[in-house]
Amino acid sequence: MKHLSRILVALFSPLGAILGLSFIAYGILSPWLGFYWDDWPLMWMSHELGPESLQQLAAYHVRPLSGWWLWLGAMIAGEEPLGWHLIIWFLRAIAGWLFYYFGILLWPKAKEALIFAALIFTLFPGYRHQFVAVNTSYHIVALILFLLSLCLMLVSIKSEKRRRFFQISSIVLALGSMLTSEYIYGLELIRPIIIYLAISKQNGKARYKETLITWSPFLVQLIGIYIWRFSLSDNLNYPILIFDEIKSSGIISTFLTYAYQALGDIFDVTFMSWGKAMQWPSPQEFGERSFLLLVLAVLFSLIYLYFLFRHQKQETGENRNSQSRDFIILGSAGLLLAGIPFWIISLDLKTVFPADRLVLPMTFGAVFFLSGMLECLFKHKRTLLIFAYVLAISLAVGFHVQNAVYFYRDWNSFTSFYSQLRWRIPDIQENTSWLSPELPIRFSTDDSITAALNWGFDQPIDDGKMRLNLFYLDLRYIDQGKEIGASDLIINNYLFFRFEGSTENMLILDFNPPQCLRIYHPKYDYLNPQMPPDLRDVLSFSNLELIRNSNVSDAVLPKAYMENPVEKSWCYYFEKADLARQNENWEEVVKLGDIAFSMGDSPNHAAERLPFIEGYARIGYLDRAEELSIEALEINPNTRASICLIWDRIDQEGNFPAQSIRSNLGCN
Region 572-587: mean pLDDT is 93
CATH of 567-668, one of 1.25.40, 3.40.1000, 1.20.1050, 1.10.3470: 1.25.40
The span from the CA of 105 to the CA of 149, in Å, is 12
Domain boundaries, the chain: 2-407, 427-550, 567-668
Mean pLDDT along residues 186-197: 94
Q: What pLDDT digit, counting tens, does each position of 605-635 carry? A: 889 999 999 999 898 898 898 899 999 999 9
Nearest residue to 302 via CA among 371, 395, 381, 374 = 395
Q: Is 600 left (phi over 0), alpha (psi -120 to 50) or beta?
A: left
Alpha helices in 250-316 (DSSP H): 251-267, 273-277, 283-286, 288-310
Checking DSSP bridges between strand 468-472 and strand 432-436, what pairing results, if any? parallel
Amino acid identity of residue 422, one-letter, is R
Average pLDDT over residues 179-200: 91
In this structure, is the dihedral angle defined by the CA atoms of residues 50, 56, 62 and 68, taken in order, positive or negative?
A: positive
Is 80 exceeded by the pLDDT of residue 470?
A: yes
pLDDT at 595 over 70: yes
* Cβ proximity of 435 and 474 under 8 Å: no
**What is the pLDDT of the chain when averaged over all its residues?**
86
The predicted model scores a pTM of 0.91
pLDDT of residue 615: 92
| 551 pLDDT more than 70 | no
- Tens digit of each residue's pLDDT (9 = 90 or more) over 411-446: 999 989 998 998 999 889 888 999 999 999 999 999
Helices and strands: H and E segment counts in the chain? 30, 9
Residue type, 597: F
pLDDT higher than 80, residue 522: yes
Closest by Cα among 448, 404, 420, 406 to 24: 404
pLDDT at 147: 97
Residues 91-104 pLDDT 10s: 999 999 999 999 99
Q: Report pLDDT for 666.
A: 84
Tens digits of per-residue pLDDT, 84-132?
Answer: 999 999 999 999 999 999 999 999 988 888 999 999 999 999 899 999 9
Answer yes or no: are the C-beta atoms of 29 and 86 closer than 8 Å: no
Q: pLDDT at residue 348 above 90?
A: no
When pLDDT is cut at 50, 70 and 90, the band that residue 555 belongs to is: very low
pLDDT digits (tens, 9 = 90+) for 260-278: 888 888 899 889 889 888 9
Q: Using alpha carbons, select from 451, 452, 447, 454 the residue that is nearest to residue 417.
A: 452
- Predicted confidence at residue 559, as pLDDT, reads 59
Q: What's the pLDDT tens digit per position in 357-380?
A: 999 999 999 999 999 999 888 877
Confidence of residue 517 (pLDDT cuts 50, 70, 90): very high
Question: Is the model more confident about 254 or about 418?
Answer: 418
Is the pLDDT confidence value at 53 over 90? no
